[in-house]
Amino acid sequence: MRKYEHKKIEGKWQKVWEKKKLNVAQSNSRKKKYYILVEFPYPSGDGLHTGHIRSYTALDIVARKRRAEGYNVLYPMGWDAFGLPTENYALKTGIHPKVVTKKNTDNFRRQLKSIGFSFDWSREINTTDPAYFKWTQWIFLKFLEKGLAYKAKRPINWCLSCKIGLADEEIVDGKCERCGGETEKRDKEQWMLAITKYADRLDKDLDSVDYLDKIKIQQRNWIGRSEGAELNFQLTINNKQLGEVTVFTTRPDTLFGATYLVLAPEHPLVEKLKNKIKNKEEVLRYVVISKKKSEMDRTAEGKEKTGVELQGILAINPASKEKIPVYVADYVLRAYGTGAIMAVPAHDKRDFAFAEKFKLPILEVISGTKRDGMYSGPGFLINSGQWNGRRSDEALPEIVKAVGGEIKTTFKLRDWVFSRQRYWGEPIPVIHCSVCGTVPVPEKDLPVELPNVKSYKPSDTGESPLTSISSWVNVKCPKCKGKAKRETDTMPNWAGSSWYYLRYADPKNRKMFAGKQALKYWTPVNWYNGGMEHTVLHLLYSRFWHKFLYDLKLVPTKEPYAKRTSHGLILAGGGVKMSKSKGNVVNPDSIVKLLGADTLRHYEMFMGPFDQSIAWNTEAVAGSRRFLERVWKLYDAIEKEKPNKKGEVNVSLEALFHQTIKKVGEDIESLKMNTAVSSMMILLNAFEKEGKVSRVHYATFLRLLAPFAPHVTEELWAFLGEKSSIHLEPWPKYDARKLISERVNIPVQINGKVRATLSLSRDLDDDQAKGAALAHPDIMRLIMGKQIKRIIYIKERIINIVL
């Protein structure tokens, strides 16, 4: 048999598959559907990252298995192509973002095709295509129509070097997520989307979906549902009433212990009362300083508490009727709850630290509480008037009622700052008329396209570069036909990805973002995989858009994604981030060229547990190549004649064979691709040990391997004389009766330390047991590149490898 030459194989089969439309999803099919989605990439100038390949390969394997199980599979790909790097590149070079985007997507597409992913390329989409963003704009207008898009002056985070407004989520450790530069707060009119209106459902409906627990937890934390109450405190000055402050508390049961009140520095009452405060100057100075600090700085745990008393003003505790002092302090945030708190230093850590510093009274109201430790559960009330001796959780609603408060649920989630003052985004489709106000662009005039410009420079005043293009800005008002101006803000780059999975269902539709029929058939997405970094942004945003469209009866399901998993990152050797500046980026092109796409895919699946971050290991890539070469060579060992009926069947090999079918199938379902690969390695070892392989075993083995290494298996399949594609074959079934041969668990040690446990059949001989130990992924990784001195196998007891 000739040599394994990936170059002759891979391109050839890719063309055949494309011609035969093997991966095209059927539009009007009676078959059961299965929709698999991976996060579409931002087509950066750097090309495809090895990390993209990891998640795309894993879900490609699932897609191929589903097709083999008889499903009509949709596994689409497209481009999330609006974004800052492209605009910044245009700024530097003067090349239009459209041109840059075209070049980059062409490169990405070429790369993805070279790896043999089974994407349905006939459904490719691009968020920067006017035929696409017409619908992004259309959905925005629906938000506007329903009152969920509104303009508000917001202290937004402003990056001084990008000159762009950033959402809270785009600030990492007080710095701009994109450039790492300084940020400050600035007041600016912004378009907002009222995601908070959906906070409750975004939280509750997580119960109905199959997301990894850690994903649900992150979403829930971000939404931050909090059950509590709003209570009113009277303010007084010289015994005269000044009005009320409403506080939000999760612990109204501790009301008697509220020994002072705190307002956020930005609380409107501070401004309103300023002329009544004795130490006005000091208070206002404090307010100015606080506004400069990031939220993170203000609330960081263990940070020294600061604040200033509003001298002359007192509040009345509505339960105890005690007069208590009022402070401004930056640990209270304006945007959460009501922006004011009752401080209970005996039972709240932050209040305790503050009270210690400012020598404020600390009054215990729940027994069993240590003064410094935090008592968070219920207990028995003390110092609480008529409720003394009662269980605090039972008394809670009574206390709220007695003081005229209101049980209330609050969320940490904020409305979404939806505008950017940049060029390369979807123009927000409204027109400002001095007579009619804000007028939506009529549907027939969508999409509002971007004008061609020479300069993409944002202005120092923070306005979009679009502001200076008068021919584009100055338009007629759609209502009164008078002079009017276009909105120059564009949408954030989260817009296009908030609904892209719907477009794949019906990507060429010109009348609607997707037709009802297509949506009914394809949604929800059955399985969506993406990065953990998108859990609280993209995932939440798209769930919000989906629910909104559901309310308009434009999509048939409440949730967009039935299942969500996520992958770990691929790091450079040594466990550091791959980055251009460090020169440690692995270029997939060179691996495809040198060793083949199948090797790359196989290695990325074998490298380690899918959900963990793993460092790239060049030697291990070569190991994957060797594995495929051994599969290739095994073809020569296929038995020419049929085995005799009796006597010749190797029972333990037969059991291993069926176990492998079972294991590979199950591992794929739980994305344990590394152990699926290692079980195929064990089976290959066993075949080699046997010195021969039956045609049935070999063909089945190829079918198991086909989703992982689609090209080489297709070639070998053709060698077997098969006429149609291996990828059209049904998924192999195992025979449950043949699964069992007697097995024992055997620990594998390296230099005396247990590193893995193997489940081996009792009748394996010395060499087979050692071979299985060496093929175990954990062991392989540990002995990689090291000299093995000897291997000791104590039958059915232990294997020890000495290095």
Binding site for ligand ANZ (CB under 6 A): 226, 248-251, 254, 264, 332-333, 336-337, 339, 341-342, 344, 347-348
d(CA 142, CA 597) in angstroms, rounded, equals: 45
DSSP-derived secondary structure letter, 182? B
d(CA 147, CA 312) in angstroms, rounded, equals: 42
Which of Zn ion, ligand ANZ, none does residue 548 bind (CB under 5 to 8 Å by kind)? none
d(CA 90, CA 102) in angstroms, rounded, equals: 13
Q: Are 478 and 442 in contact (CB under 8 A)?
A: yes
| Nearest-approach distance from CB 394 to ligand ANZ, in angstroms | 17
Q: Which residues, including other chains, have CB under 8 Å from residue 259's CB and lie 6 or more apart?
A: 322, 324, 343, 344, 345, 355, 360, 361, 362, 363
Nearer to ligand ANZ, 50 or 249 (CB): 249
Nearer to ligand ANZ, 165 or 257 (CB): 257
Nearer to ligand ANZ, 249 or 498 (CB): 249
| Nearest-approach distance from CB 251 to ligand ANZ, in angstroms | 4
Handedness of CA 216, 217, 221, 222 (dihedral sign): negative
Which of ligand ANZ, Zn ion, none does residue 477 bind (CB under 5 to 8 Å by kind)? Zn ion
Nearer to ligand ANZ, 369 or 529 (CB): 369
Which of Zn ion, ligand ANZ, none does residue 435 bind (CB under 5 to 8 Å by kind)? Zn ion
| Nearest-approach distance from CB 374 to ligand ANZ, in angstroms | 7
Nearer to ligand ANZ, 36 or 341 (CB): 341
Q: Are 676 and 606 in contact (CB under 8 A)?
A: no
Nearer to ligand ANZ, 167 or 332 (CB): 332
d(CA 186, CA 291) in angstroms, rounded, equals: 10
Q: Are 135 and 513 in contact (CB under 8 A)?
A: yes
Nearer to Zn ion, 477 or 653 (CB): 477
Which of ligand ANZ, Zn ion, none does residue 170 bind (CB under 5 to 8 Å by kind)? none
Closest alpha carbon to 185 in 203, 165, 213, 209: 165
Percentages (nearest 5) of helix, strand, coil residues in the chain? 40, 20, 40
Binding site for Zn ion (CB under 5 A): 433, 435-436, 477, 479-480
Nearer to Zn ion, 99 or 480 (CB): 480
Per-residue tokens: 189: 């009119």
Closest alpha carbon to 576 in 603, 610, 606, 615: 615
Which of Zn ion, ligand ANZ, none does residue 468 bind (CB under 5 to 8 Å by kind)? none
Nearer to ligand ANZ, 227 or 619 (CB): 227
Q: Are 762 and 744 in contact (CB under 8 A)?
A: yes
d(CA 135, CA 182) in angstroms, rounded, equals: 35
d(CA 339, CA 246) in angstroms, rounded, equals: 9
Which of ligand ANZ, Zn ion, none does residue 332 bind (CB under 5 to 8 Å by kind)? ligand ANZ
| Nearest-approach distance from CB 488 to Zn ion, in angstroms | 18
Which of ligand ANZ, Zn ion, none does residue 480 bind (CB under 5 to 8 Å by kind)? Zn ion
Per-residue tokens: 371: 């003064």
Which of ligand ANZ, Zn ion, none does residue 248 bind (CB under 5 to 8 Å by kind)? ligand ANZ
d(CA 170, CA 157) in angstroms, rounded, equals: 9
| Nearest-approach distance from CB 476 to Zn ion, in angstroms | 8
| Nearest-approach distance from CB 245 to ligand ANZ, in angstroms | 12
Which of Zn ion, ligand ANZ, none does residue 144 bind (CB under 5 to 8 Å by kind)? none
Which of Zn ion, ligand ANZ, none does residue 596 bind (CB under 5 to 8 Å by kind)? none
Beta strands, E only, 173-306: 175-176, 183-193, 210-211, 226-237, 240-249, 260-263
| Nearest-approach distance from CB 265 to ligand ANZ, in angstroms | 11
Nearer to Zn ion, 99 or 435 (CB): 435
Which of Zn ion, ligand ANZ, none does residue 339 bind (CB under 5 to 8 Å by kind)? ligand ANZ
Per-residue tokens: 252: 């109204």
Name the phi and psi angles at 58, rounded to 5: -60, -45
Which of ligand ANZ, Zn ion, none does residue 436 bind (CB under 5 to 8 Å by kind)? Zn ion
Closest alpha carbon to 565 in 210, 184, 161, 105: 210
Nearer to Zn ion, 485 or 692 (CB): 485
Q: Which residues, including other chains, have CB under 8 Å from residue 112's CB and lie 6 or more apart?
A: 48, 56, 77, 119
Q: Are 144 and 179 in contact (CB under 8 A)?
A: no
Nearer to Zn ion, 480 or 744 (CB): 480
| Nearest-approach distance from CB 356 to ligand ANZ, in angstroms | 16
| Nearest-approach distance from CB 323 to ligand ANZ, in angstroms | 18
Residue with tokens 């492209």: 86
